[in-house]
Amino acid sequence: MVFSASHSAWVFPGQGSQEPGMGEDLRLASGTYRTLLEHASELTATHFDPAVPVQPVDGGGVHPTVLTQLSVFTVSVGLADALLQAGERPQVLAGHSVGEFAALAAGGWLEPSEALELVFHRASAMAACCRQEASMMAVLGIAPEIVANACAGSDAVLANYNAVRQTVVSGPTADLFHVGACLRDLGATVVELDVAGAFHSNLMAPARDALAPRIAAANLRPGHTPMISSISGSTISDVGRYRAALSEQVTAPVQWTAVLRTLDDVLPDDGGVLEIGPGRVLRGLQRKHDRRRPVGSCSSWAEAQELIQQPTVAAG
């Protein structure tokens, strides 16, 4: 198989894909990335650097959720900008959770600076909801319908539909304990996630309400590249309706399996899926969905240059 950045969908990862040292070579090479870092430093009143692993904060200081979401966003947008400046153009865009804001910035739906500010306020509002005993857990090897049945009658909910037999459940810790035990009895593999709260659940309702007026006021408009919403899993056709849905994103589940099905519809058979940002999570989900489709990764300046200088490289 061959792979081309311009013959592909570009997909952007969410929180959980961060890794030590990310963005180091990008900071040296990209003025756009350095500008994003300066803006993030102003917003957080810190020396913001995604290359430094985020540490837990006791008492004052910036919440790890804020730093992590900003880190994934800035690295992803900086890498996408490097490809765009070199003339690469995606067929379609999508992003997983906070990655959707990186996709909006890369596709011209939002200015990068405004998208960065929205991510900061989004993450800050979500962090404020993390004072209660709540978390998330990954569930593997069992159908989403069975997971939903196990959650029924509790405050635990399906938060991510990542693959046919790979989901994430979000909710109060006590409910997750009981739902997890039930799912293990049914043969599922259950993995507790190292996150600060029950993201993509109704426990994030205060964050949704705080973010809604900022989304309503944002200069959101049709971009130069089509977008698939991770909220609906379908291509965005009405900016007004999408704006309303985007306000619900922090409480709504991520419909990534639906995103992948829509990619099947809009991409040619030999069209690829390029994950832009730290980690390899979305690349792995695509391979679970369809191993025949070319996949690629761009998680560093060096990988961006390889894609630019050698537009057809081995995929896998």
Write the pLDDT tens digit of every residue in 211-248.
999 999 999 999 999 999 999 999 999 999 999 899 89
The whole-number pLDDT of residue 61 equals 66
Domain ranges within the chain, ordered by starting residue? 2-130+201-314, 134-192
pLDDT at 185 > cutoff 90: yes
pLDDT digits (tens, 9 = 90+) for 145-172: 999 999 999 999 999 999 999 999 999 9
pLDDT digits (tens, 9 = 90+) for 82-136: 999 999 999 999 999 999 999 999 999 999 999 999 999 999 999 999 988 999 9
The whole-number pLDDT of residue 315 equals 47
Length of the chain: 316
Read off the pLDDT of each residue in 192-218 and give the average, rounded to a whole number. Answer: 96
The CATH architecture of the domain made up of 134-192 is 2-Layer Sandwich (3.30)
Separation between Cα atoms, residue 150 and residue 88, nearest integer Å: 45
H/E element holding 12? strand 8-12
Q: How many of the other CB atoms lie within 10 Å of CB of 259?
A: 29
> Is the separation of the CB atoms in 151 and 270 below 8 Å?
no
Separation between Cα atoms, residue 113 and residue 78, nearest integer Å: 12
Provide the greatest CA pair distance for the chain.
55
Q: Which CATH superfamily is domain 2-130+201-314 in?
A: Malonyl-Coenzyme A Acyl Carrier Protein, domain 2 (3.40.366.10)
Of the pLDDT bands very low, low, confident and very high (cuts 50, 70, 90), residue 54 is: confident
pTM exceeds 0.85 for this model = yes
Instruction: Check if 2-130+201-314 and 134-192 are the same fold.
Output: no
Of the pLDDT bands very low, low, confident and very high (cuts 50, 70, 90), residue 6 is: confident
The whole-number pLDDT of residue 1 equals 47
> Is the separation of the CB atoms in 3 and 272 below 8 Å?
yes
The whole-number pLDDT of residue 314 equals 41
Query: What are the φ and ψ backbone dihedral angles of 15, each rounded to 5 degrees?
Result: -60, 140
The whole-number pLDDT of residue 59 equals 52
Q: How many of the other CB atoms lie within 10 Å of CB of 225?
A: 18
Of the pLDDT bands very low, low, confident and very high (cuts 50, 70, 90), residue 285 is: very high
Read off the pLDDT of each residue in 260-288 and give the average, rounded to a whole number. Answer: 96
Separation between Cα atoms, residue 27 and residue 15, nearest integer Å: 20
